[in-house]
Structure 1
């Protein structure tokens, strides 16, 4: 399967087939892809909430400006950032490194302490901006994986994060929503599926030095 062919096939799906559901295997692929997303310093300060329950999703339509993709897709993926990022996250990360690679503390500790200092000295607002940028990396990764797997998706910034957080009680988990990604399969009558993709020629968008 050509990845370029699949990226041309991909589009922001406006209408999903509400009768079609992702297989467990496809959903697990997306979970794995999210978990393998490239992140700054390897710190995973992101979480992905996977919502299949349509009753829960129906309650979210009003905070998503009436966009039916939220409910009609097979699943709704909510990309979230931690509201608090501190030295404990660094400790957890390095504990994981040690457990997986069996790297001695003598090698890990200098890097761990340096990163803890960087994170703890960073102003709270900059931490949130930093984490949010990681969420966009995860979104791009997921969209590409969806295309390769023949899964339709629709990236969405058009919702009210604070209201959605309240409805999903994300504060209990120390999370704040950043992006939505409904995933599933396009409806046969979604006219946007047949539109030609509009992009500038590569000669205008890529500069070679």
Structure 2
């Protein structure tokens, strides 16, 4: 598998074939990629809502009404749609759950190592909460790391994908009760197989040249 070739070939799908489904086994692998995505100090400040049924996709499509109606067919025609969410607060309970999971998974040789990990993570949380005052933005950046992992993984598995910020996050937060759970909507990702009507499939991919975006020192 040539990752550079995959990155060059993948593109944002604009129309899906509603008759083609992505096998559940493939979706399950992509969900593993999401769960295993990297995050700063392993903070994992995310949640993923997966819609594979017509009813589930219809609920997510409610967030693409009005000025976002151009995205509604993608949500409804895709095989699956994933809503990537970020935490609205880095709570002590969440941090305790992460720490306990690390302990259960055998990451600490002793209590001192566990305490050191707790201090390090809390230091960065407090840095963004009190000094930089960008805790929400910091948590959202971690969720976008998961998005990048998902998009490359989908390309590697022959699945077309469309990341979409064009929806009403407040509407979906209310529709899914996300705020009560401590999350907020960030980005929708449609997954499926392109339609013959997808105009973007025939267009050449365009990126700025390497010498404009890469500096070697």
**Alignment TM-score, normalising by the size of structure 2:** 0.88
Determine whether 1:199 maps to 2:204.
Answer: no
Match of 2:94 in 1: 89
Question: CA contact under 8 A between 1:6 and 1:150: conserved in structure 2?
Answer: no
Q: Distance in 2 between matches of 1:181 and 1:115?
A: 29
Q: Which stretch of the first structure deviates more once superposed, 164-173 or 193-202?
A: 164-173
In the TM superposition, 1:120-159 aligns within 5 A as 122-123=129-130, 126-159=134-167
Question: CA contact under 8 A between 1:73 and 1:185: conserved in structure 2?
Answer: yes
Determine whether 1:183 maps to 2:191.
Answer: yes
Q: Distance in 1 between matches of 2:74 and 2:39?
A: 28
Match of 1:109 in 2: 115
Q: Distance in 2 between matches of 1:2 and 1:118?
A: 35
Q: Distance in 2 between matches of 1:131 and 1:100?
A: 23
Secondary structure of the structure 2 residue equivalent to 1:60: helix
**Shift in CA distance, 114/189, structure 1 to aligned 2, threshold 3 Å:** closer
Please provide the CA RMSD for this pair: 1.9
Question: CA contact under 8 A between 1:86 and 1:119: conserved in structure 2?
Answer: no
Match of 1:36 in 2: 36
In the TM superposition, 1:14-93 aligns within 5 A as 14-64=14-64, 65-66=68-69, 67=71, 68-93=73-98
Q: Distance in 1 between matches of 2:143 and 2:122?
A: 21
Structure 2: segments with no counterpart, 5+ residues: none
Q: Which stretch of the first structure deviates more once superposed, 99-108 or 15-24?
A: 99-108
Question: CA contact under 8 A between 2:87 and 2:182: conserved in structure 1?
Answer: yes
Shift of 1:125: 6.0
**Alignment TM-score, normalising by the size of structure 1:** 0.91
Q: Distance in 1 between matches of 2:113 and 2:198?
A: 55
Structure 1: segments with no counterpart, 5+ residues: none
Question: CA contact under 8 A between 1:74 and 1:183: conserved in structure 2?
Answer: yes
Secondary structure of the structure 1 residue equivalent to 2:82: strand
Q: Distance in 2 between matches of 1:133 and 1:112?
A: 21
Q: Distance in 2 between matches of 1:49 and 1:22?
A: 17
Secondary structure of the structure 2 residue equivalent to 1:158: coil
Q: Distance in 2 between matches of 1:125 and 1:71?
A: 38
Q: Distance in 1 between matches of 2:27 and 2:149?
A: 15
